[in-house]
């Protein structure tokens, strides 16, 4: 094998490329791919985290299919996705669209919108939990009482608990989405708008025929990114329902919280791994469907 000094310039470039690539490849191999593969393996085993692993085949998946709590959690997880993603997308776009046209205090307002994204999810969840408390502690119920409206059980109601938990999660992610939308808006060439102005095109037509179509790559990124976030929601639910994890009758429990409780409360690592595999497949399928539906060549 020829030495390094005998290699051509192109061959040396290839060697150095692989040297620099070795670090991220090892990182993803050890930190990402190995745990993922190990989770798939554990999902076919019975393991309490301390004892020996026992091969059980498809037992964990059969248990999952027959578990009514799993199907309730499965429904909750998709409710977070189906409600949170479009609501956050519309609000973020509306704010970014109007904020982009604003010149006075533009930077300050953009910072205010982005601040919740930088705030600890735990601290934010506890603040919103305080908002939702009953009279005389909770902010929202005090405001309702001041105008003669009966107080609402936000976190202790099977009907209200999920929207109450979802609201701060949507609010927390708006700042990031607004910044991305504004970057996409700034990337649209002004010549399109100048031509539309000369032709006397209405503002609505400009929005629907120029702005939104040219924002398709930005929308694809935000939809996929936010969908993954809502499918993996955990911090807000866990911290806002600590007295009753998952809310009344598991009305707010997402799949990630179920995995956490199965693994570290019940110490059933095999069953938790099976739930993790299901979550991985959900994330994969949802992301692929969204990329297909929002692809640019349609």
pLDDT in tens, 191-246: 988 898 888 888 899 888 989 999 988 998 899 899 999 999 998 899 998 888 88
297 vs 179, higher pLDDT? 179
pLDDT above 70 (res 54): yes
pLDDT digits (tens, 9 = 90+) for 182-203: 989 989 998 988 898 888 888 8
Q: If you compute the radius of gyration of the chain from its CA atoms, what whole number of angstroms results? A: 25
**What is the second-level CATH architecture of the domain 67-293?**
Orthogonal Bundle (1.10)
Quote the CA–CA distance of 227 and 233 in Å, as a whole number: 10
| Predicted TM-score (pTM) of this structure | 0.85
Q: Is 1 a residue whose pLDDT tops 50?
A: no
Alpha-carbon torsion, ordered 217, 218, 224, 226, to 10 deg? -170
Instruction: Find the mean pLDDT for residues 250-257.
Output: 93
- pLDDT, residue 58, reads 93
pLDDT in tens, 71-106: 999 999 999 999 999 999 999 999 999 888 887 777
Instruction: Specify the residue for token string 């019940």.
Output: 266
Long-range pairs for 126-134: beta carbons < 8 A, 24 or more residues apart? 126/239, 126/240, 128/167, 128/168, 128/236, 128/240, 129/155, 129/239, 129/240, 132/164, 132/240
Nearest to 161 by CA among 226, 85, 243, 87: 243
The tokens for 143 are 């405001």
């Amino acid at each position: 094998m020829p030495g390094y000094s005998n290699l051509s310039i192109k061959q040396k470039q290839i060697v150095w490329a692989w040297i620099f690539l070795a670090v991220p490849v090892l990182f993803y191999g050890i930190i990402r791919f190995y745990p993922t593969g190990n989770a798939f393996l554990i999902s076919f085993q019975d393991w309490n985290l301390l004892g020996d692993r026992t091969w059980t085949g498809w037992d964990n998946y059969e248990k999952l299919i027959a578990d009514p709590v799993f199907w309730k959690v499965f429904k909750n997880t998709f409710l977070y996705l189906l409600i949170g993603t479009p609501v956050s997308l519309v609000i973020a776009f509306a704010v970014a669209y109007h904020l982009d046209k604003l010149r006075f205090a533009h930077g300050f307002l953009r910072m205010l919108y982005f601040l919740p994204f930088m705030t600890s999810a735990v601290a934010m969840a506890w603040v919103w939990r305080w908002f939702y408390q009953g009279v005389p502690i909770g902010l929202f119920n005090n405001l309702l009482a001041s105008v003669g409206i009966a107080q609402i059980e936000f976190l202790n109601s099977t009907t209200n608990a999920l929207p109450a938990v979802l609201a701060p999660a949507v609010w927390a992610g708006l700042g990031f989405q607004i910044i991305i939308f504004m970057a996409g808006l700034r990337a649209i060439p002004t010549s399109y708008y100048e031509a539309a102005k000369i032709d006397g095109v209405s503002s609505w037509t400009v929005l629907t025929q120029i702005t939104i179509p040219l924002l398709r790559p930005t929308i694809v990124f935000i939809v996929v990114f936010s969908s993954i976030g809502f499918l993996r929601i955990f911090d807000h639910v866990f911290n806002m329902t600590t007295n009753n994890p998952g809310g009344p009758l598991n009305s707010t429990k997402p799949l990630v919280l179920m995995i956490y409780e199965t693994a570290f409360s019940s110490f059933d690592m095999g069953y938790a791994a099976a739930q993790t595999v299901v979550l991985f497949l959900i994330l994969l399928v949802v992301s692929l469907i969204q990329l297909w539906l929002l692809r640019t060549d349609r």
